[in-house]
Structure 1
Amino acid sequence: MQKTKNMSHSEITVYYDGLCQLCSREIEHYKKMDGASNISFVDITSPGFDATAEGLDPHKIHQSLHVRDTNGQIYIGVEAFIMIWSQLNMLKKIVPLASFGPVKKTLEAGYFLFAKVRPLLPRKKCSDSPYCEVQFDQKR
């Protein structure tokens, strides 16, 4: 399992699809931001990653972004993004807006659509991940 740093008391863990070009670009952007040292990034397509060992559903983890907080609580989709943004100094200011009911519902609708088309998006060239050629069933 690939992590960018060790866990400390103030961190969250982000589980992302490293073969998804768009997802990887966004994560790389986050990694450069002030506050990223509070986040451990885990590529769920790395050869050593085992979702079950992390207490995560191996199918659902590939359908939506997941974040675990220091208490072990899992956040999925828009909730996961809000957790990430809350750690990044430049994005903290959008957390209240993103958490506001109507805005959050709109973000959730957009993320739901993105999650449905994401398996159709181009993926990075791959040779060592067990997920190189796997298409994930969206109905699980």
Structure 2
Amino acid sequence: MESDKSPTGIATVYYNSACPVCDAGIRDQRQRMQACNINWVDVHSQPDAVAEINGELEAVRERLHVRHANGDILVGEQALAALWSETKGRRWLAWLTLRMGFLTRPLYNCVAKYLYRWNRRRGHW
């Protein structure tokens, strides 16, 4: 694994590549954040890594998790906002997500739950 030192403060991103939609989003985000020293942990290929955040595998499969260098854990739309806030051209998405949480949180949770169930039915694990 790479160093946990990141100029963004984001040390590690935990995601699920078994979900084709999530995988595409993470591949794009990784490309945009190449200059950042961030650990990208795919819980599909490294399921034991969830222990690093005292998480449950199914929770991380369903929702994006970000661990900051100081140990703080962000989940779901907050995790996305953390990534976007450090991404040129996407900072406005972070701003909008953080200010419209009363809308973005339920929307993210609904989409995440739907994708999680869809992936389970399709056998993407």
Which TM-score band applies after superposition, normalised by the shorter structure?
Answer: 0.7 to 0.9
Partner of 2:26 in structure 1? 27
Trace 1:97-116 onto structure 2 (pairs within 5 A): 97-100=96-99, 103-116=100-113
Instruction: Give unpaired runs (5+ residues) of structure 2.
Output: none
Structure 1 residues 47 and 76: CA distance shift in structure 2, 3 A: closer
Matched residue SS, 1:51: helix
Kindly indicate whether the alpha-carbon contact (under 8 Å) linking 1:20 and 1:121 is maintained by their aligned counterparts in 2.
no
Task: Give the 4+ runs in structure 1 shifted more than 6 A.
Answer: none
Partner of 2:71 in structure 1? 72
Trace 1:85-96 onto structure 2 (pairs within 5 A): 85-96=84-95
**Residues of 2 paired with 1:27 and 1:9: CA distance?**
18
**Residues of 1 paired with 2:33 and 2:16: CA distance?**
22
Q: Percent identity?
A: 25
TM-score relative to the length of structure 2: 0.80
Between 26-35 and 106-115, the greater mean CA deviation after superposition: 26-35
Which of structures 1 and 2 has the bigger CA Rg?
A: 1
Pick the structure with more helix per residue.
2
**Residues of 2 paired with 1:37 and 1:83: CA distance?**
13
